[in-house]
Amino acid sequence: MTSQSAPSHPPDICVLLHAHGEQRWLFSEVVPVLRQLEQPACLPEDQRGAAIAYLEVLWLDAQLRAADTDAAHAKLEAAHANGDRLLHEKAHRYHATVHRERGAIAQRIAALARSDHHAAAPQHAGF
């Protein structure tokens, strides 16, 4: 019986695949929950804690995806562009775009966490 290993994609293709997957995850899973939490009227107060916990889990998964994307990008940086230079440049630009989007979402999550912390602060008199 022969074992077949998974095909090895060139570094630029790997970056494009990882960046695309990360971007889709961010905008299909993380951002909708974040939007609901940013608009207090959209979510009953008794469901807010569960939504924040769910967002935390989604964000942990997003960070793992980001690490995979960044690792693929690091391999691209280490590799010499022996193939299609245009594809190589597109991979760099796509990674940079997803990296910026990731940073913007992280800032929104941090702002949400700060606002939630400040909203809860009056309930905890010693803090």
The pTM (predicted TM-score) of the whole model is 0.81
Q: Is 15 exposed, middle or buried (0-12, 13-18, 19+ CB in 10 A)?
A: buried
| Contact between 95 and 15 (Cβ < 8 Å) | yes
Measured between alpha carbons, how far is 4 from 25 in angstroms, rounded to an integer? 29
Query: How do the pLDDT tens digits run along the chain, 127 residues long?
Result: 444 545 578 899 999 999 999 999 999 999 999 999 999 888 898 998 899 999 999 999 999 999 999 999 999 988 866 667 888 899 999 999 999 999 999 999 999 988 876 555 444 433 2
> Residue 40: in which H helix or E strand, if any?
none
- pLDDT (tens digit per residue) in 50-77: 999 999 999 999 999 999 999 999 999 8
